[in-house]
Amino acid sequence: MDKIYIELLQKDSLIDEAKLSRLRQYKYIQIIDSSKKDVNTLKTHINALEDDYYNLMQVTEKKQNKIIKQRKIGLIMLGVIILQALL
C-alpha cells in the first residue's frame, strides 16, 4: 500500500513538473514572439531613417552644387569687374 501511495505521489509530482514545464515553454514562446515583433518594428524604423538620410543627402548635395556654382559665378564677376577697372 505504501508503494502505491509513493508511486501516486511521484506521478502527481511529475504531472506538476510537466505543467510547469509547459508554462515555461509558453512564456518563452511569448517572449520570442514579442522579440520578433520588436525586431521587425526596429527594422521598419531603420528603413524609414535610411530613406530620410538618403533624401537629406540628396538635398545637401544639391545645395553644395548650387553653392559651388554661385562661387564660380562670383569669381568670374569679380574678374570681370577687375578687368573693367584696369581697362
Quote the pLDDT of residue 7.
75
Quote the pLDDT of residue 71.
94
Quote the pLDDT of residue 1.
72
Residue 67 has pLDDT above 90, yes or no: yes
| DSSP SS3 for 32 | helix
The rounded percent of the chain whose pLDDT value lies above 70 is 98
Give the mean model confidence (pLDDT) for residues 1-29.
84
Give the mean model confidence (pLDDT) for residues 59-69.
96
Give the mean model confidence (pLDDT) for residues 36-47.
96
